[in-house]
Structure 1
Amino acid sequence: MIALVVLVTLIGLPVYVFPVVADSPRKVDVIMVLGGRQDGRENYAISLAEKGLAPVVLVSDPYLRPDPYMEAICDVPHQVKVVCFNPDPRTTRGEARFLRDQAAQNHWTSAMVVTFTPHLTRADYIVSRCFTGDLVMAEYKTDLTLPYWAYMYAYQTVGFVRAVAQSGC
């Protein structure tokens, strides 16, 4: 049993802990922030845009109202255009579809997606099925406890299985 846990941990390291899909942030047409832990990734993405990396930031807001955290982001002015949206469905797939549709409407050919480390590889898999342009996956690093890492291994693995089983965008 211990050997199985060690094997799963080692296999998961390049997928969840040190994702090989992580890119350095660079100039793109739009930055999209995936919903999640409300851990600061939204402000990180807005700060990247304000440094000149994109004129628009799409912020996923899959939370139920009222949500003071999201209101503090979505209801205040920023130096760049910030568009908060409710994905349908309220999953990474819904967020990827929103990016696809907005990219078509706005003629965007490049996008940066910001999410936290354990979600990065799965998000890349899902978003790249919907968005065919130049995709930059930006890692938002946050401190996670060991039990939360264990939970993320399981959660992200189940999510990968579901994503692989689904066809198309």
Structure 2
Amino acid sequence: MRNAWSGILAIVGGLWLIVLAGLPLYVFPAVDDVAPSDVALVLGPPMEERLALAAQLRDDGVVQRIVVSVQPAGGQTADDIPLCDEASVTCAVADPYSTRGETQLVDAGESVIVITSTPHVTRARYLFDKCHAGGVAVVAAGGPETFSAWASQYAYQSAAFVKAIAQPCP
């Protein structure tokens, strides 16, 4: 019985360590100050909060162009997003269809403000620092709203971080 309790305590303790280690990465990531840049890049999926922030940055003169990463099919395509019909907005499907591919949606050397969800900020910064030659600022717009969504993001972002470290840039 004592061994069973020790095992349970070790598992619970390990889970708490993972949760605590993830807080600065996924829940309270460092976001960059916004400064005038060449382009705002909305990472997929193009959620309303991200699109609104990109439009606001353009309207405020912080960026001149917006690039939106859209899905190839099944909703959230360029045809589904009114912003894609505006001048100075480009909507494109990343190749590969991942954050790694999204680093290639803007020209090398361009300064970019990357707009993504809160739990994705740290991994997006890592990939853009690794794969994009221009200046990068990463900001958050929106994030999970439920405990289960946060738990899912912890697992997904952690696994995706391992993949980001292991794979070369496109």
Q: Same fold (TM over 0.5)?
A: yes
Instruction: Tell me the CA shift for residue 84 of structure 1.
Output: 0.6
Alignment RMSD (CA, Å) = 1.9
- Decide which of 46, 57, 82 is 1:48's aligned counterpart: 57
Q: How many aligned positions are there?
A: 159
* CA shift for structure 1 position 45: 1.0
Asked which structure has the greater CA Rg, the reply is 2
Verify: 1:33 aligned to 2:34, yes or no.
no
1:92-131 equivalences in 2 (<5 Å): 92-99=99-106, 103-104=107-108, 108-131=109-132
Is the 1:61–1:70 Cα contact (8 Å) retained in structure 2?
no
Which protein, 1 or 2, shows the higher relative CO under an 8 Å CA cutoff with sep ≥ 6?
1
Alignment pair present for 1:87 and 2:94: yes
User: 1:143, 1:93 → 2: CA distance?
Assistant: 22
SS in 1 for 2:68: strand
Deviation at 1:109, TM superposition (A): 3.5
Gaps of at least 5 residues in structure 2 are: 1-10
CA contact (8 A) 2:27 2:118 kept: yes
Task: Give 1:60's aligned residue.
Answer: 69
Kindly state the Cα deviation for residue 126 of structure 1 after the two structures are TM-superposed. Answer: 1.0
Structure 1 length normalisation: TM-score? 0.85
Aligned-residue sequence identity (percent) comes to 35
Q: CA deviation at 1:36?
A: 2.1
Q: How far apart are 1:35 and its partner, in Å?
A: 0.4
- The alignment's TM-score, normalised by the length of structure 2, stands at 0.85
